[in-house]
Amino acid sequence: MTPNSCSQTAAAAAACLDLTAVSDLIARQHWSRLKALAGTTSAAAAAQLLHLLLDSPHANPPTLRLLFRWSESHFRSPQPLPLHCRLLHSLAAAKLYSDLRFELHSLAKSGRHSAPSILHSLSISGDTRRRGASLSVIADMLVLALVKNSRTESALEAFYRSRDYGCRLSVLSCNPLLSYLIKEGRIENVEKVYKEMIRRRIAPNLITFNTMIHGLCKARKLRRAGDLVEDMKTWGFSPSVVTYNTLIDGYCKSGQAGKMYKADALLREMVLAKIHPNVVTFNTLIDGYCKDGNSSAAARFLEEMKRQELSPNVVTYNSLINGLCGEGKVDEALGLLKEMDDSNVMPNVVTFNGIVNGFCKKGMLAEAKGLLDDMLERNVTPSVITFNTLIDGHCRSGLMEDAIALKRLMSGSGIRPNVSTYNCLISGFCRNGDMSSATKLLDEMEENDVKADLITYNVLISALCREGKMAKAVKLLDEMQDIGLQPSHVTYNTLIDGLCKKGNLRAALNIRARMEKGGKHANVVTYNILIKHFSGRGKMHEANELLNEMLEKGLVPNRVTYDIIKEDMVERGYIPDIDGHLCNDAA
Partner DNA sequence: ATAGGGTTAG
Task: Give the count of beta carbons closer than 10 Å to the beta carbon of residue 484.
Answer: 6
Q: Does 284 bind DNA (CB under 7 A)?
A: yes
Cβ distance 159 to 196 under 8 Å? Answer: yes
Contact 286, 314 (CB under 8 A): no
Residues near 144 by beta carbon (within 8 Å), at least 6 away in sequence: 101, 104, 172, 173, 176, 177
Which residue of 48, 162, 211, 535 would you call a contact of DNA, by CB under 7 A? Answer: 211
User: Binding to DNA by residue 207, rule CB under 7 A?
Assistant: yes
- Among positions 384-403, residues that touch DNA (CB under 7 A) are 384-386, 388-389, 392
Closer by beta carbon to DNA, 71 or else 175: 175
Distance of CA 109 to the CA centre of its chain: 21
Q: Among 355, 455, 543, 546, which residue sits at the site for DNA (rule: CB under 7 A)?
A: 455
Stretch that binds DNA, among 53-61, 118-126, 363-371, 377-385 (CB under 7 A): 377-385
Choose between 40 and 284: whose C-beta lies nearer to DNA.
Answer: 284
Only one of the segments 38-46, 266-274, 366-374, 451-459 lies at the binding site for DNA (rule: CB under 7 A); that segment is 451-459
Separation of alpha carbons 160 and 119, rounded Å:
11
x/- track of binding to DNA for residues 134-173 (CB under 7 A):
-------------------------------------xx-
The rounded distance, in Å, linking the Cα atoms of 115 and 554 is: 45
Q: Is 294 in the site for DNA (CB under 7 A)?
A: no
Site for DNA in 502-541 (CB under 7 A): 523, 525
- What whole-number distance in Å separates Cα of residue 351 and Cα of residue 371? 11
Half-sphere exposure in the Cβ direction for 55 (13 Å, CA) = 18
Compute the least distance from the CB of residue 253 to DNA, in Å.
Answer: 7
334 sits near DNA (criterion: CB under 7 A)? no
3-state secondary structure 541-569: HHHHHHHHHHHHCCCCCCHHHHHHHHHHH
Closer to DNA by CB, 47 or 424: give it: 424
Does 45 sit near DNA (CB under 7 A)?
A: no
Q: Establish if 315 lies at the interface with DNA (CB under 7 A).
A: yes
What value, to the nearest 5°, has the Cα angle with vertex 317 and ends 314 and 318?
Answer: 80
Among 71, 351, 544, 561, binds DNA (CB under 7 A): 351
For DNA, the binding residue among 176, 226, 518, 536 (CB under 7 A) is: 176
What's the gap between Cα 577 and its chain centre?
A: 46
Closest CA to 52 of 43, 62, 64, 41: 64
Taking CB under 7 A as the rule, does residue 249 contact DNA?
Answer: yes
From 3-11, 64-72, 200-208, 222-230, span contacting DNA (CB under 7 A)? 200-208
Phi-psi region of 23 (alpha: psi -120 to 50; beta: other; left: phi over 0): alpha
Burial (CB < 10 A; 0-12, 13-18, 19+), residue 230, is exposed
Which window, 48-56, 329-337, 423-431, 550-558, contacts DNA (CB under 7 A)? 423-431
Q: Which residue's CB is nearer to DNA, number 68 or number 244?
A: 244
Instruction: Give the CA dihedral 400, 455, 528, 328, nearest 10 degrees.
Output: -50
Q: Please state, in angstroms and rounded to a whole number, the distance separating the CA atoms of residues 47 and 148.
A: 28
The only residue of 458, 528, 544, 561 in contact with DNA, by rule CB under 7 A: 458
357 binds DNA (CB under 7 A): yes
Kindly give the interhelix angle for 314-326 and 279-291, rounded to the nearest 10 degrees. 10
314 binds DNA (CB under 7 A): yes
Other C-beta atoms lying within 10 Å of the C-beta of residue 182: 20
Rounded to whole angstroms, the Cα distance separating 335 from 333 reads: 5
Stretch that binds DNA, among 365-373, 442-450, 455-463, 532-540 (CB under 7 A): 455-463
Q: Which is nearer to DNA, 125 or 526 (CB)?
A: 526
Among the residue ranges 13-21, 350-358, 363-371, 473-481, the one whose residues contact DNA (CB under 7 A): 350-358
Residue 245 in the binding site for DNA (CB under 7 A): yes
Choosing from 56, 121, 162, 318, the residue that interacts with DNA (CB under 7 A) is: 318
Rank residues 278 and 504 by Cβ distance to DNA and give the closer one. Answer: 278
State the Cα–Cα distance between residues 502 and 361, nearest whole angstrom: 33
Per CB under 7 A, does 283 bind DNA? yes
Per CB under 7 A, 353 contacts DNA: yes
Kindly state the number of chain residues that form the binding site for DNA, as judged by CB under 7 A: 65
Least separation in angstroms between residue 421's CB and DNA is: 7
The phi, psi pair for 113, rounded to 5°, reads -120, 145
What does the angle CA 169 – CA 172 – CA 175 come to, to the nearest 5 degrees? 100
Give the 3-state secondary structure of 5-73: CCCCCHHHHHHCCCHHHHHHHHHCCCHHHHHHHHCCCCHHHHHHHHHHHHHCCCCCHHHHHHHHHHHHH
Select from 254, 383, 397, 481 the one that contacts DNA (CB under 7 A): 383
Please report, as residue ranges, which positions from 460 to 489 form the binding site for DNA (by CB under 7 A): 462, 488-489
Applying CB under 7 A, among 295, 316, 535, 544 the residue interacting with DNA is 316
Closest separation in Å from C-beta 387 to DNA: 8
CB of 310 to DNA, least distance (A): 9
Least gap, CB of 416 to DNA (angstroms): 13
- Check binding of 454 to DNA (CB under 7 A): yes
Shorter beta-carbon distance to DNA: residue 94 or 206 = 206
The full DSSP string for 294-338 is: -HHHHHHHHHHHHHTTPPP-HHHHHHHHHHHHHTT-HHHHHHHHH
Q: Give the DSSP H or E segment for 473.
A: helix 470-482
Residue 420 interacts with DNA (CB under 7 A): yes or no: yes
Measured distance between the N- and C-terminal CA atoms of the chain, rounded to whole angstroms = 95
| Interface positions with DNA (CB under 7 A) | 171-172, 175-176, 179, 205-207, 210-211, 214, 240-242, 245-246, 249, 278-281, 283-284, 287, 291, 313-316, 318-319, 322, 326, 348-351, 353-354, 357, 383-386, 388-389, 392, 419-420, 423-424, 427, 454-455, 458-459, 462, 488-490, 493-494, 497, 523, 525
